Structure 1
Amino acid sequence: MAFTRATGKHRGPSRLSRKSAGVASVAAIATTGVIGTLASPAFAAEAEVSAPVEDTGLTQAVAVDSLAQQIDAQAEAQQQEAALVAAQEKAEAEAKHKAELRVKAARDAAERAAREAERKRLMTYTLPVAGSYVSTDYHAGGAQWSSGSHTGVDFHAASGTEVVAVGMGTVVEAGWGGAYGNNVVLRMHDGTYTQYGHLSSISVSVGQQVTPGQQIGLSGSTGNSSGPHLHFEARTGEDYGSDIDPVSYLRSHGVRV
């Protein structure tokens, strides 16, 4: 069997055909992105912007660190504020305590001064009749006294004049005393005794504590008396006959007679 073929000449592609095919191949490669690295800078930038960013967790870590820093800063600020408040409260408490100590010290000083003043007052002596004077001296002689002499002194005093204790003491006798009439006897704080006679009335009772200048009765003319006055005696003991000079006694205790 005979084979036949089409008429005409068969020959290879011309140079122009090969060149055209090469250009077409380059264009195809560019179109498929194989030579994307040869693209312009602007095209590369657009590609980077449009490309999605892979989530690596770094952004979340930065956010957590920032929040932790804010919390730490707030905590530090609160601690500083608390320390400032505590310091202020401490300063106020110390100032208050110092003020209280000053007030207490002033109060204690005032109380000590008052006690000292009271002590001095209780240790002081005074005249038995304020503003009076001695009308009959100690040991003056006369028949009106059983011993033959005056065992005390007489202070001038109208009837009903206030008679006071010359110093601090305790009442050991308060009532009728025979020739002394209504009388009061005091045991003084130093162990001596004082007597107040011819009283019209008595204001104290036995066992009572008296202070300097405290009223113990009113002057009069009861008992062996020639007229209103106060008979005053000072004694070393409670019994009659232990008398001492009343004027010297009062002067030894700072009383001007």
Structure 2
Amino acid sequence: MAFTRATGKHRAPSRLTRRSAQVVGLAALATTGVVGSLASPALAADTEAAQVADTGLIQAVALDATLAEQIDAQAHAQRQQAEAIAAAKAEAAAEAKARAAKAKAKAEAERKAEARAKEVREEKARAARAAERARLNAFHLPVAGSHVTTGYRSGGSLWSSGSHSGVDFLAPSGSSVVAVGAGTVVEAGWGGAYGNNIVLRMTDGTYTQYGHLSSIGVSVGQSVSSGQQIGLSGSTGNSTGPHLHFEVRSTPDYGSDMDPVGYLRLHGLSV
């Protein structure tokens, strides 16, 4: 009777299966460095299995080297990228700093320019005020281009006091009569022997009087500037002909008269 091999799970592994297992075992042992000492006699005798084991070891070493190179390359690329980012940030920071410095310099220049412009405006304003003060404080002859025909304290029967309390300026009828300086009108109207007359209280506290006018152009309480026309010359009141009677007083009252020529010269006029 012939015997047959049992099938199923009791079947013995084939030679090819045994060899495959041996190759796998050898490759695993090769990675731990104990290939030679633990090899079985069957594996040593099996040339094909040894060749397969040697090929697996070389492949494992080659893979390790390639992976290391890839890691190094990746690390190098990351370093380069980090350095590039750092350089870009540094450049951006430098540009921002430069812009800030430029903006600060521009703002400072604008501030200085504005300060200088303000100084110039203030200087012009001061100059204008000074010019205005000078104009207001400047004195004028009561009749432009005229001269004195009868002096102060001249004697004679023409004056009730026996002497001239002011000076007479040559002034044809209708000549413009101006305030010799800035002041306020305290009298404007008929003044008896003075005829139509005006009295101004000057800014320095003295009083000036303009007599024998043909017309009056201001009213009491009005402020007048130096050189402003206040009336026209004539021959009203106690007068022998057209002229301007001009007096300077320390008070608004008759009898407090001062030398008109000396007063005008004190204020810079050539009389």
Q: TM-score range by the shorter chain?
A: 0.7 to 0.9
Shift of 1:123: 2.6
Shift of 1:236: 1.2
Q: Distance between the aligned counterparts of 1:81 and 1:52, measured in 2?
A: 45
User: Normalised by the size of structure 2, how large is the TM-score?
Assistant: 0.73
Are 2:90 and 1:76 aligned? yes
Are 2:33 and 1:33 aligned? no
Are 2:121 and 1:107 aligned? yes
Residue of structure 1 in register with 2:135 after alignment: 121
Equivalent residue pairs, number: 226
Residue of structure 2 in register with 1:11 after alignment: none
Residue of structure 1 in register with 2:226 after alignment: 212
One-letter amino acid matched to 1:29: T
Give the secondary-structure state (helix, strand or coil) at the position aligned to 1:199: strand
Are 2:178 and 1:164 aligned? yes
Residue of structure 2 in register with 1:148 after alignment: 162
Give the secondary-structure state (helix, strand or coil) at the position aligned to 2:253: coil
Are 2:247 and 1:229 aligned? no
Q: Which moved more, 1:195-204 or 1:230-239?
A: 195-204
Q: Distance between the aligned counterparts of 2:78 and 2:182, measured in 1?
A: 89
Selected match of 1:96 from 110, 116, 137 = 110
Q: Distance between the aligned counterparts of 2:270 and 2:187, measured in 1?
A: 27
Identity between Structure 1 and Structure 2 (%) = 60
Give the secondary-structure state (helix, strand or coil) at the position aligned to 1:33: helix
Flag as ranges the 4+ runs of structure 1 deviating above 6 A.
46-52
One-letter amino acid matched to 2:184: T
Q: Which moved more, 1:177-186 or 1:27-36?
A: 27-36
CA deviation digits over 1:188-246, x for unaligned, max 9? Answer: 11211110011122222212222221111111122222221111001111101111221
Shift of 1:168: 1.8
Q: Is the 8 A contact 1:181 1:198 kept in 2?
A: yes
Q: Distance between the aligned counterparts of 1:52 and 1:166, measured in 2?
A: 115
Q: Is the 8 A contact 1:170 1:208 kept in 2?
A: yes
One-letter amino acid matched to 1:254: G
Selected match of 1:174 from 174, 180, 188 = 188
CA deviation digits over 1:136-163, x for unaligned, max 9? Answer: 1222233332222221111001112111
User: Normalised by the size of structure 1, how large is the TM-score?
Assistant: 0.76
Residue of structure 1 in register with 2:101 after alignment: 87
Change (3 A) 1:160 1:255: same
Residue of structure 2 in register with 1:23 after alignment: none
Q: Distance between the aligned counterparts of 1:54 and 1:252, measured in 2?
A: 112
Q: Distance between the aligned counterparts of 1:34 and 1:61, measured in 2?
A: 35
Q: Is the 8 A contact 1:29 1:35 kept in 2?
A: no
Q: Distance between the aligned counterparts of 1:35 and 1:59, measured in 2?
A: 31
Q: Distance between the aligned counterparts of 2:227 and 2:189, measured in 1?
A: 20
Tell me, which stretches of 5 or more residues in structure 2 are unaligned? 1-43
One-letter amino acid matched to 2:226: P
Shift of 1:164: 0.9
Residue of structure 1 in register with 2:22 after alignment: none
Q: Distance between the aligned counterparts of 1:31 and 1:150, measured in 2?
A: 158
Give the secondary-structure state (helix, strand or coil) at the position aligned to 1:82: helix
Q: Distance between the aligned counterparts of 1:86 and 1:218, measured in 2?
A: 71
Are 2:198 and 1:184 aligned? yes
Change (3 A) 1:241 1:52: closer
Change (3 A) 1:228 1:112: same
Q: Distance between the aligned counterparts of 1:79 and 1:224, measured in 2?
A: 95
Shift of 1:128: 0.7
Task: Give the alignment's Cα RMSD to 1 decimal.
Answer: 3.0
One-letter amino acid matched to 2:132: E
- Residues 10-25 of structure 1: pairs in structure 2 closer than 5 A: none
CA deviation digits over 1:70-129, x for unaligned, max 9? Answer: 322222211111111111111111111111122211222222222223223333322111
